[in-house]
Amino acid sequence: MVLESPFYGKRRPLLQCGSKLLCVSDLLLLGRATIEEARSLLHWLDCEAGFGKMGICGLSMGGVHAAMVGSLHPTPIATLPFLSPHSAVVAFCEGVLKHATAWEALRDDLSVHEASMTLEEVKERMRNVLSLTDVTRFPIPKDPSAVIFVAATVSARSHSLHGMVYLRRAWSNLVAPSDSD
């Protein structure tokens, strides 16, 4: 089963161009909706459809969401985050997407509501908002041995290895990674 995320494909808002979200808050809504929908589907598969052993996986942002769902699931579930950061902060404030973020537009939008902010203050505010997406703040999965991290040492988004190592360390019941991980 493949869940089509909110704000993508047929679920994309009419005014949204491609995958570029219109508002920062849309990213948080997208994540929350994806997580709750995935949790509901897993519950249905278990309780209504009779599937016992299940797993969840995702790529990049989907991997972050898969890790979140795996950590929140009430029973052990195979969890496979592929090429994922541990947080949207990594992707939007440190990774390649920091170059695609309209920082000036965010500053101008914030200036309407607050005193003028510098770009550095806007970026720090973005870090604070996106810190809500940090998987290391989520509970450790019920069975950490059912988590398989898939990372790359070289990636167009370059957050994969760092994010997976960071998440593995945070989920302390897992074996600590070596330098070769």
The pLDDT tens digits of the residues spanning 69-89 come to: 999 999 999 999 988 888 989
**H-state helical runs in the chain:** 24-47, 61-72, 88-89, 103-113, 119-130, 160-170
In this structure, is residue 94 part of a structural domain?
Answer: yes
> How many whole angstroms separate alpha carbon 73 and alpha carbon 60?
20
Looking at the chain, how many residues does it have? 181
Q: What is the mean pLDDT of residues 17-41?
A: 92
Dihedral pair phi/psi, residue 80, rounded to 5° = -130, 90
Does 179 score more than 50 pLDDT?
no
pLDDT reported for residue 71: 95
In this structure, is residue 42 part of a structural domain?
Answer: no
Question: What's the whole-number average pLDDT of the chain?
Answer: 85
In this structure, is residue 176 part of a structural domain?
Answer: no
Confidence of residue 52 (pLDDT cuts 50, 70, 90): confident
Domain that holds residue 70: 55-170
Does 5 score more than 50 pLDDT?
yes
In this structure, is residue 111 part of a structural domain?
Answer: yes
pLDDT reported for residue 133: 92
In this structure, is residue 164 part of a structural domain?
Answer: yes
pLDDT reported for residue 177: 47
Confidence of residue 153 (pLDDT cuts 50, 70, 90): confident
pLDDT reported for residue 162: 63
Number of domains in the chain: 1
Q: What is the mean pLDDT of residues 103-111?
A: 83
In this structure, is residue 23 part of a structural domain?
Answer: no
In this structure, is residue 10 part of a structural domain?
Answer: no
pLDDT reported for residue 99: 86
Q: Who has greater pLDDT, 64 or 18?
A: 64
pTM of the model: 0.83
> How many whole angstroms separate alpha carbon 173 and alpha carbon 168?
9
In this structure, is residue 1 part of a structural domain?
Answer: no
